[in-house]
Structure 1
Amino acid sequence: MKLKKLLMVSAMVLTGSLMSAVEAAPDQINIAYVKDPFNLQNIVMKQHQSLEKEFQKDGIKINWVSINSGAQQAQAMAAGSLDVSAVMNTASLLMANGAGNKVLVATGVARPTQVFAVVGKAGQQMKIEDLKGKKVAGPKGTVLHQVLVAALKSKGMSINDVEFIQMDPSKAYAALMGKHVDAALLAASLIIKSNQAGAKTVVTADGLVNPLLVMAVSEKFAKENSALLERIVKVHRQTTKWIYENYDQAIAMGAKEAGVSLQDADKLAKWSHYFDVITDEDLQSLKSDQAFLLENDMMQNKVNTDQLVLPIARQ
């Protein structure tokens, strides 16, 4: 009788634990949809409804939230309105952590060295030195901002040598086309469109900054829903594999979403260098990026970058 009673108690404890686990699972996941600069994995994953299918049997709804700015994504995570960002630049991730907002790397997305650029207004080819005293528009606290600072520094200048105007890339593009600014910080298709309109690229991130795009997650969600996060990462990696196995179909989807030709979509994809597992070189890039951000007062407090990368991102 004692053994039977013990087994019954154990069963009740186990059942209670399982019920608590089920009750603790969220009924929805809020994830940022970021199609720019040319985030093909995110585009394909959303259009294929891959996450929706993965979590349908669990009764978990996927809410896609359009937030392109890494800084705004981090703010939304801090406010609890965003759980995961399908794509965040590591400059924004580092600055968020430096400000005490714990945002972690779940897996890799892209190393787009040629996708970020400073573009001058239509006319003669501008050099970096020509930016001195000029109006430059672009998003503050992003990899584009980092590219501008690095470019100026390479010529012995600082951000104080230009009139920097905070503006998201689409508005910066419009300001450049309207000749309201002398240069703009642009990415992907906006670079191509501005070049086609006669505006010339001053400099790209290549050789100045090693931009790293990652899937990011709030520390709270990572701790409380590690099993769900593993499944999100699994779907992302399956999507990356599908893209390379069905390249033409993926490019067609990306071209339609970005509003560019198949030829330009192919160019953007090749500029992006998609990947999914964080390497030792990526960890070193995080350290280098932090040193740069601290040195240029874009980040105030130093953090342990190794602790920002979840084990699953390395597997």
Structure 2
Amino acid sequence: MRRSPRKPLVAVLAAVLVAASACGSEDAGSTLELTAALPDQVPSGTVLRLGDPQIQAVTAVSGLDKELADAGIQVEWANISGGPQSIQAFRADKLDCSAVADIPSLFAAWTGTATKIVFQAVTLDPLDHPLYKLGIAPGVNVTSLADLRGKKIAYSAGQAQGALVLRVLQKAGLTQKDVQLVELTSTGDSYVTALGTKAVDVAPIAPQNIKLYEAKYPGATSIGTGIRDDASTLYCLTSAVEDAEKAAALKVYVSVRTKALLWQNEHPDEYAKAFFQDTQRLSEADAKAVVALQGRKGIPATWDNAITRLQETADLLAAEQNHDKLDVTTLVDRRFEAVQAAAAGSQVVTGDAA
């Protein structure tokens, strides 16, 4: 009688392969569920690839970089900031996290890149210390938001500046049809150059660029928006927070980043020199002036208000730019909320400023 051993042999081999695969997965590093607690232990040599130039400078001058090294974290810093650069780096798998405002997380979702916000910061007096003012080209008469009608306005749909332009129009009772939006990505001093050469009449520019602009172009002016624009986040690839080793490292980094922002508040001159003077190449006087314009930063006790503001922005952009409706709670990893609040301690911000 002929025997056929094939069936049991296949079953045995399958069992061996499953066991080997399980061991191999464990050796390669485990996947962390997004609902699981953040790990406390960081395996030595865990790498974080961060686009966070400001905090890079602050941790170095404050000595907080030692906390990262002592935790066994190897940081690979990238000179990347802003939505377009960071999303491009995410797609190329060259970056884990980047410091941005609130808009890039929305556009990452709308363009198929999965990310999570792991850090929220606020400005303590946001209307007194806006991140942007409206630069006005020399010879252009704009003294109020109502004067924007008919003007050429620099506009970058995927950046915070673009969302601000839409919010400004909304506040002024204007629509996109009442102005001419000029598609122009804000990188470096591109908006300053566009204003100076009169390629646009109006552009939202940051405090350090306002000073550069007004010094470089005679007749240059600027006005405030009267709109809160202080959203400040760190967002990461979802795959990074799903990696148990990187998630443990990010838990440490979020704590260190919190301390770095609070250190800035207490050491404005050192902060001005380390970042704006030594890195951004501003003069000592201009560096100190920019820090004063920025105001003091705070860590909110809860992210509730920030999430509400983000949802309002997402709804506006969905309506104005023809995007799908988006539930922003899916973009926020609130496990890190308690991490930064604990690091801030009694200095957490509550009330309207949060």
Please tell me the TM-score bracket, short chain as reference: 0.7 to 0.9
User: Of the candidates 118, 138, 149, which is equivalent to residue 106 of structure 1?
Assistant: 118
Moved more, 254-263 or 283-292: 254-263
For the 8 Å contact 2:56–2:77, the answer to whether it is kept is no
Name the SS for the 1:141 alignment partner: coil
Task: Confirm whether residue 173 of structure 1 aligns to residue 192 of structure 2.
Answer: yes
Name the SS for the 1:66 alignment partner: coil
Query: How many Å separate the matches in 2 of 1:125 and 1:119?
Result: 11
Q: Post-superposition shift, 1:55? A: 3.2
Query: How many Å separate the matches in 2 of 1:285 and 1:47?
Result: 33
Relative to structure 1, the CA distance from residue 143 to residue 240 in structure 2 (aligned partners, 3 Å threshold; closer, same or farther) is same
Q: Post-superposition shift, 1:73? A: 1.0
Task: Confirm whether residue 120 of structure 1 aligns to residue 140 of structure 2.
Answer: no
TM-score, reference length from structure 1: 0.78
Query: How many Å separate the matches in 2 of 1:184 and 1:304?
Result: 27
Relative to structure 1, the CA distance from residue 46 to residue 295 in structure 2 (aligned partners, 3 Å threshold; closer, same or farther) is farther
For the 8 Å contact 1:108–1:275, the answer to whether it is kept is no
The aligned counterpart of 1:5 is none
Q: What is the 5 A alignment of 1:30-109?
A: 30-35=49-54, 41-45=55-59, 50-51=64-65, 54-55=68-69, 58=72, 61-85=74-98, 87-109=99-121
User: Of the candidates 186, 200, 216, which is equivalent to residue 205 of structure 2?
Assistant: 186
Percent of aligned positions that are identical:
17
Name the SS for the 2:163 alignment partner: helix
Question: 2:309 is aligned with what amino acid?
Answer: S
The aligned counterpart of 1:8 is none
Relative to structure 1, the CA distance from residue 144 to residue 245 in structure 2 (aligned partners, 3 Å threshold; closer, same or farther) is same
Task: Confirm whether residue 310 of structure 1 aligns to residue 328 of structure 2.
Answer: no
Question: 1:155 is aligned with what amino acid?
Answer: A
Q: Post-superposition shift, 1:52? A: 6.9
Question: 2:154 is aligned with what amino acid?
Answer: A
Query: How many Å separate the matches in 1 of 2:247 and 2:42?
Result: 15
Q: Post-superposition shift, 1:220? A: 0.7
Question: 2:168 is aligned with what amino acid?
Answer: A
Question: 1:180 is aligned with what amino acid?
Answer: A
Query: How many Å separate the matches in 1 of 2:110 and 2:157?
Result: 16
Listed one character per residue, the Cα deviations across residues 1-36 of structure 1 (whole Å, up to 9, x for unaligned) are xxxxxxxxxxxx99x96895799887532111344x
The aligned counterpart of 2:180 is 162
Query: How many Å separate the matches in 2 of 1:23 and 1:42?
Result: 20
| RMSD (Å) for aligned C-alpha atoms | 3.3
Moved more, 257-266 or 285-294: 257-266
Relative to structure 1, the CA distance from residue 156 to residue 137 in structure 2 (aligned partners, 3 Å threshold; closer, same or farther) is same
Name the SS for the 2:78 alignment partner: strand
For the 8 Å contact 1:104–1:310, the answer to whether it is kept is no
